[in-house]
Structure 1
Amino acid sequence: MVEVYTTAPASVEPDGSAFRRRLAEVTRWTDAAGHTGLLVYSDNTLIDPWLIAQLILERAARAVPLVAVQPVYCSPYAAARMAATLTFLHGRPVHLNLVTGGSRQHLEALGDGGVGHDERYERLSEFATVLRQLLESPRPVTSTGRHYRLQGASLPHRPRQPPRLVLSGSSEAAVKCADDLGVLRFAYPVPVRSYPAGRSGIRLGVIARPTAGAAWKAAHDRFPGDPLGERRHRVVAKLSDSHWYAELAEVEASGVYWLHPFRTYRTFCPYLVGSYAEVGAYLAAYFARGVESVILDVPDAEDDLHHARLAFDAAG
């Protein structure tokens, strides 16, 4: 059966209490839907993902945070210790999403702008290798790599069940990194007719209803036209060195596959819009090509997950 995550809301609420209420809602909805957990993504505009993960674990009965881990933000030891700490405190594992950062401006702001795209994935591979050793090795870890050096390092509480590692990216360097590490790779998918076969995960939004007309009305109500957003998208498409952003920016969307929310800078993933049967058939085509896990976009309401579940059911 295909595994499903949702996505935690971005920390853009007017204050912390409003954000905590919104996060608690989405966490509760995810739990009620029986999904695996919530993606917690991270960049320079958002609050610390580890603290969001702590809030999720406090509120969820089953769902776990899938925390974005970016080498520019922390060392592999700091990430391993935080993951182990959360597992120790809550008795449940966290999942870790390995990322390199896609905004050139954000990387430059942190003094990392001179590191090339492929080199960031080479560093991420070493980061993840050291991270995994710290979390899994019964002995202190010594590492003398290019980017990270440890001498007899160990964690205060090594988890009995190590965190699951996944990786996000769609470039050749990302594919190689995921293969070298032996982890599932998530991508923002192109239309299924062009989607490469092989074991993978995808991130997208789903707006499904009993009829196509009702689904498209809900889609346009949620994502109306936005000329300013379109201009921001065009600027980002020129400045970003992320392979996936450039790839999606060139895609010709049609039918169930919808890119309007992406091209108005409302979200970063494509959407599938249509009846349960239409969306289910499109999902089934992805599954037939090797997709085994899906991260859904941030739900707008609890009903979104109910409708999405019926589309997944239709996919078989």
Structure 2
Amino acid sequence: MKLLTTAPPSVRFEPGAYLNAVRDLARWNETVGVEGMLIYTDNSLIDPWTVAQVVLESTKDFVPLVAVQPVYMSPYAAACKIASLAFLYQRKIALNMVAGGFKKDLEKLGDDTDHDPRYDRLIEYTLIMKALLRGESVTFDGAYYQVKNLKLDPILSPDLMPDIYLSGASDACITAAATLEATRFSYTKPPADLAVKAPLPGAGQLGLRFGIIARETAAEAWQVARNRFPSDRRGQMAHKMARSTSDSIWHQEIAAMADDLHDARDGAYWLYPIKNYRTFCPYLVGTYEEVGEYITQYAALGFRDLILDVPESEDDLAHAMRAVRHSPATANMLSHAV
């Protein structure tokens, strides 16, 4: 089981300040036993490969999980980035293969491909990229990509081959994850809602992403949570607009649940930050024991990798890790940490 975190979006920082923020966050997380960091990509953010290089230079074994959008670069360019970073640092990175994104971002780039075909394109892209990283001479004639006798130099050491992740809940995403032998991440529902559908598609190669706000008492945790994510009318309007324009299955499902739940809450499971358009994942809020029990329930359903939302501070991360350690599913994984 792997535990990862999320890099903060660069759009929230002034030029120059982001560098230290990424360095600090990576070092905090590596110290407490977190394995790596998801680095987003979209039209509003700086280049994720540049952020990944900062992470590699700031840590010893921490793994950047780089979001890769086919619209932004060719499969050869992506493979070359991976091999180049490995050549320079002898370090492994991981890849979050992105089929979609914000609809308006894609339109501005001239991409009007429908939802399911985007996953067909992603499969072709990833197969070419992986073959190049294995050192093969690649000839491929697909619906979206054609290459002939293409070879990568420098080649990648087999022990540095990147782990592959996808995010989504649609049938097209599930099929793509199985084809690529990738871990599929979900912005998931409460465990009780998922249990009625068990076994889940791809159980054993499933991950989920959520934030944690945990304290000694539930009252203290909820006070911190509501102070951090207060009601925001403009954010709620942005949430409704995004829901109306998105063709993402998981976004539609999680947005609908945020609107339907009383106080956007089901026990420790909280969607108010999504409802106010402050983040794109659920939060688990409560005592260390309560949050740890939720993690245990998710593990029992087949989830194996966890990505935490961006911690507010080093102290906030310490509280989250106390909750993570209350789950038997993750306690052993973190036993080596300081």
Same fold flag (TM > 0.5):
yes
Aligned partners of 2:16 and 2:237: how far apart in 1?
32
Code of the aligned partner of 2:292 = G
The answer to whether structure 1 residue 228 and structure 2 residue 225 are counterparts is no
Matches for 1:151-300 after TM superposition, within 5 Å: 151-160=148-157, 161-195=160-194, 196=197, 197=200, 198-199=203-204, 200-251=206-257, 252=261, 253-300=265-312
Please name the residue that 2:319 is paired with.
Answer: 307
Q: Could you state the TM-score of these two structures normalised by the residue count of structure 2?
A: 0.90
Contact 1:103 1:242 in 2 (8 A): no
Counting matched residue pairs gives 313
Aligned partners of 1:206 and 1:303: how far apart in 2?
12
Gap runs ≥5 in structure 2: 329-338
Contact 1:123 1:147 in 2 (8 A): yes
Partner residue of 1:120 out of 110, 118, 121: 118
Q: Give the superposition deviation at 1:72.
A: 0.7
Please name the residue that 1:43 is paired with.
Answer: 42
Q: Deviations over 1:7-54 (max 9, x none)?
A: 011012443211111111111111111111100011111111111111
Please name the residue that 1:79 is paired with.
Answer: 78
Q: Deviations over 1:143-175 (max 9, x none)?
A: 112211111212111111211111111111101
Aligned partners of 1:150 and 1:8: how far apart in 2?
34
Aligned partners of 2:64 and 2:315: how far apart in 1?
21
Aligned partners of 1:277 and 1:42: how far apart in 2?
34
Q: Give the superposition deviation at 1:133.
A: 0.4
Aligned partners of 1:285 and 1:102: how far apart in 2?
30
SS at match of 2:227: helix
Q: Give the superposition deviation at 1:305.
A: 2.0
Aligned partners of 1:205 and 1:13: how far apart in 2?
18
Aligned partners of 1:60 and 1:13: how far apart in 2?
23
SS at match of 1:147: coil
Q: Give the superposition deviation at 1:204.
A: 0.5
Gap runs ≥5 in structure 1: none
Matches for 1:8-23 after TM superposition, within 5 Å: 8-23=7-22
Please say which of residues 271-280 and 195-204 is displaced more in the overlay: 195-204
Aligned partners of 2:18 and 2:311: how far apart in 1?
14
Contact 1:230 1:265 in 2 (8 A): yes
Q: Could you state the TM-score of these two structures normalised by the residue count of structure 1?
A: 0.96
Please say which of residues 64-73 and 100-109 is displaced more in the overlay: 100-109
Contact 2:123 2:180 in 1 (8 A): yes
Q: 1:14 to 1:167 in 2, by over 3 A?
A: closer
Aligned partners of 2:149 and 2:8: how far apart in 1?
39
